[in-house]
Amino acid sequence: MLTDRDGYDAWETRAIATLDRDDVDADAALARLGNATRHLGDWRPGGAPLREAVNRAFDVASNGESHEDRPANAAVDRRRVRLALGTIPPAAAVPRSTARLADAAAELPAWWAEFDRPVRAYLAARLFGNWIAYHGPGLHAVVEYLRVALALVKADAGRPRAGATSSPWQIVTEAVRNADLVLVHLCDLKLLARRLE
């Protein structure tokens, strides 16, 4: 769905607020965001303003009244990682650890849940500072972009590390940096936006 400025502002504000909630993890927050965005697809000009429709859709999704969009599983996350890596031009210098993310088992360590808040903050930053909204076909592409970002972080955090002496904080920090490397610097954003359709 395409929006006007006021509608997008309302959607972005509510989406960031959803990612800021401590009663849901990152996957559940993105599921709620997906539910709210899906409900907005029914909105048509001429009725209630889009801003009101956005707030109503998020209120329904936040109250748990819509469960159409379940959190991702490992197979779906691997597909999203391959999707992002598949948009990197062949001539790009991709670090070996990043290139191997497509095959990462994404078995998250036991400590993963302790870092959910910083991961949600990263997703909020990717939401606020994304270009998919300009290249993609609508709001659902932005939601899928965030799911790809989360899948990249999880795959990197869960990948085997030789001589694993890094602290969990260092691993999550590296995973976020590597996700940003792929999404901001390596991938062809226009191609990724088309594939997110």
Separation CA 54–CA 59 (nearest Å)? 9
Inform me whether the pLDDT recorded for 76 exceeds 60.
Answer: yes
Inform me whether the pLDDT recorded for 66 exceeds 50.
Answer: no
Q: Which of 52, 71, 90 is the last residue of a domain?
A: 71
Domain range holding 128? 73-197
Separation CA 102–CA 144 (nearest Å)? 17
Residues 124 and 169 in one domain: yes
Average pLDDT value for residue range 103-112: 75
Residues 65 and 137 in one domain: no
Q: Which of 21, 53, 71 is the last residue of a domain?
A: 71
Number of domains in the chain: 2
Average pLDDT value for residue range 56-84: 76
CB neighbourhood size of 35 (10 A) = 23
- Amino acid identity, residue 18? T
Residues 37 and 93 in one domain: no
Residues 82 and 67 in one domain: no
Residues 53 and 104 in one domain: no
Q: What is the DSSP string of 134-159?
A: HHSSSHHHHHHHHHHHHHHHHHHHHS
Residues 67 and 98 in one domain: no
Instruction: Give the pLDDT score at 105.
Output: 58
Q: 20-34, 62-76, 138-152: which has the minimum mean pLDDT?
A: 62-76
- Entry pTM: 0.90
Average pLDDT value for residue range 87-114: 80
Residues 26 and 98 in one domain: no
Under the banding of pLDDT at 50, 70 and 90, the label for residue 62 is confident
Instruction: Give the pLDDT score at 20.
Output: 96
